[in-house]
Structure 1
């Protein structure tokens, strides 16, 4: 029993001493996206008690986190994928996204050319709910409505 308590005590002292050591704040450069964000990682080091890598990104100067980051890089940052995305993967997915925008614009122009109108925004509130006569039969009689 005393061996365990000394071991715990020693771990606390060692962690306290290690907290004063300078930390590694520069990570490995993992890549750059088409927006200009730079991505970094400090790998996991189980010998120091660090089980997961630390990942972050720095936006280009003057763009303080305004633009959304690409989905591939976000998945990497959130540890949903182990390896950072490749340039080919990013360019392929960007081309697909641009193709979808072009196709959506063509479909919208075709719909408007055929006489379609712009979609209407439904009302908000209880007036927007459908009214069924079968459920409102009691209201026409002398019974109070069930609410």
Structure 2
């Protein structure tokens, strides 16, 4: 027997590719999960046998007419392929609680510093003067070149 090199059968390759192209493809994705905004997430897994190396991931928004959709960071990372597994319900609840706690703490700090800021922003009144629409400070002259009554 003579050593024969395997040859490429071009017609056979074309025929196999044609037959593979007639197989039904998956157009509808598998439901993966939902976030607390109501967005639903889907995926069509990768299939290297047909040349599809990456999975297709997308979401259906809760309100299809709104153009400013909010996504959680965990689901966005999954959509962009930065994480393999979709987020779990426990992970989403835990991160939502942390987010709410941070909002409450920020509101408390804002209220605390707003009181201190308001107290510092109030001008000192010159004696005998009433509060007017324009603040009057002791260190500024009311009439140029003339000293205030308190000085």
Rg larger in 1 or in 2? Answer: 2
Match of 1:54 among 49, 53, 56: 56
Please give the secondary structure, in 2, of the residue aligned with 1:90: helix
Instruction: Please identify which structure carries the higher helix content.
Output: 1
What is the Cα deviation at residue 35 of structure 1? 0.7
Matching residue of 2:85? 83
Are the counterparts in 1 of residues 33 and 42 from structure 2 also a CA contact under 8 Å?
yes
For the residues of structure 2 that align with 1:11 and 1:64, how far apart are their CA atoms?
A: 48
Structure 2 vs 1, CA of residues 61 and 10 (structure 1 numbering), >3 Å: closer, same or farther? Answer: farther
Instruction: Give the TM-score normalised by the residue count of structure 2.
Output: 0.64
Q: What count of residue pairs does the alignment treat as equivalent?
A: 116
1:32-72, CA deviations, whole angstroms, 9 ceiling, x for partnerless residues? 11111110011111111111111010012444443221100
Matching residue of 1:108? 110
Matching residue of 2:96? 94
Q: CA RMSD in A?
A: 2.8
Please give the secondary structure, in 2, of the residue aligned with 1:44: coil
Are the counterparts in 2 of residues 44 and 50 from structure 1 also a CA contact under 8 Å?
yes
Are the counterparts in 1 of residues 38 and 61 from structure 2 also a CA contact under 8 Å?
yes
For the residues of structure 2 that align with 1:16 and 1:65, how far apart are their CA atoms?
A: 41
Please give the secondary structure, in 2, of the residue aligned with 1:50: coil
Long gaps (5+) in structure 2: 122-151
For the residues of structure 2 that align with 1:95 and 1:29, how far apart are their CA atoms?
A: 25
